[in-house]
Structure 1
């Protein structure tokens, strides 16, 4: 059975390569470029495998960038929805995030009021003043404790959100930097070398 030999030009250096037509992959003997031999309907030509791999890698990196950007957008949207649910609003309609100071100050004021009522109640209203004062102390304790716990939970959620967002942003910057300085982005097509002399 005779072997059919075909001539193909190297896509990298332009050298003529004599190949068995059944061969699919070859390394150029002149410039060492790794080539894929493509059999179209009318022609046979070579394609540089390194460039195919680089292009494929660039497309994968761009898809990764899109996925990371979508993750960041989703994370920010979820955080904003959480803030809308948890935060109260001031008179101007601005969101006020929970903090430890407001419930602590309100608790101190309520405790002071409760103690004043207990101490200031006269002999005839002693039991009534004691009951009202103790009720204010107990209620203010639980309200203050709930407010401080809520503020701690909010701070923990914000810390997790910022940490995750920083991670995603750093990963995005790393992928964008790698894509920006990849050989495909730097030079576009590979430099063509002169045709070697046989």
Structure 2
């Protein structure tokens, strides 16, 4: 059986192998080698480098998947914001205001009081007193509904930020970069957010 001398790619030490050997371990440096039998030459290749290359490719695939998830998450969030936020004249979206329910309650209660006083003073017919009572009730209902929507929006935003932080941190970890210097917001696991209903975004 023909014996061929090759060099270890790890330390350069000479090795003697025959044509049936596919893998070997260098007794000098301990490198795991693959013996390549080409028609014109026989040489060695370090298996650890192949494994590192494979791991790098796998990490690149994971990064692409995470980046796609991040883009999908951002698009879903922007679509959700379009449905609940107010668009100003310059085209920017304004988030729901926490002061709006208080303003609605104050205006409607004040309007109801003014109507009732006008009826009491005889400036308006007694039938308008019913309107003076109904206006604060309707205003309070509208303010309560708005406040509930505001709470849902804030919870949705916390869920979005938490999920986005996790994706960005995972990408940074695969790239060997430090995690984003931002504290991940706490979010109760039992709450389900309307805009995260499809695919992996909801998990």
With the length of structure 2 as denominator, give the TM-score of the two structures: 0.77
Q: Tell me, yes or no, if the aligned pair for 1:37 and 1:44 is still in contact at 8 Å.
A: yes
1:110 & 1:90 partners in 2: Cα distance?
25
Q: Which residue of 1 aligns with 2:119?
A: 121
Q: Which residue, 31, 49, 52 being the options, matches 1:51?
A: 49
RMSD: 1.9
Q: Which residue of 2 aligns with 1:186?
A: none
- Which structure has the bigger radius of gyration? 1
Q: Tell me, yes or no, if the aligned pair for 1:100 and 1:147 is still in contact at 8 Å.
A: no
2:90 & 2:9 partners in 1: Cα distance?
68
1:129 & 1:174 partners in 2: Cα distance?
67
Task: Give the number of aligned pairs.
Answer: 175
Q: Tell me, yes or no, if the aligned pair for 1:117 and 1:129 is still in contact at 8 Å.
A: yes
Q: Which residue of 1 aligns with 2:162?
A: 163
Q: Helix, strand or coil: the match of 2:176?
A: helix
Stretches of structure 2 that go unaligned for 5 or more consecutive residues are 178-203
1:165 & 1:32 partners in 2: Cα distance?
44
Deviations 1:58-85 (A, max 9, x none): 2222222222222222211211121122
Q: Which residue, 5, 8, 11 being the options, matches 1:13?
A: 11
Q: Helix, strand or coil: the match of 1:139?
A: helix
Stretches of structure 1 that go unaligned for 5 or more consecutive residues are 179-198
Q: Which has the higher contact order (CA 8 A, sep 6+)?
A: 1
Deviation of 1:92 after TM superposition, in Å, equals: 3.2
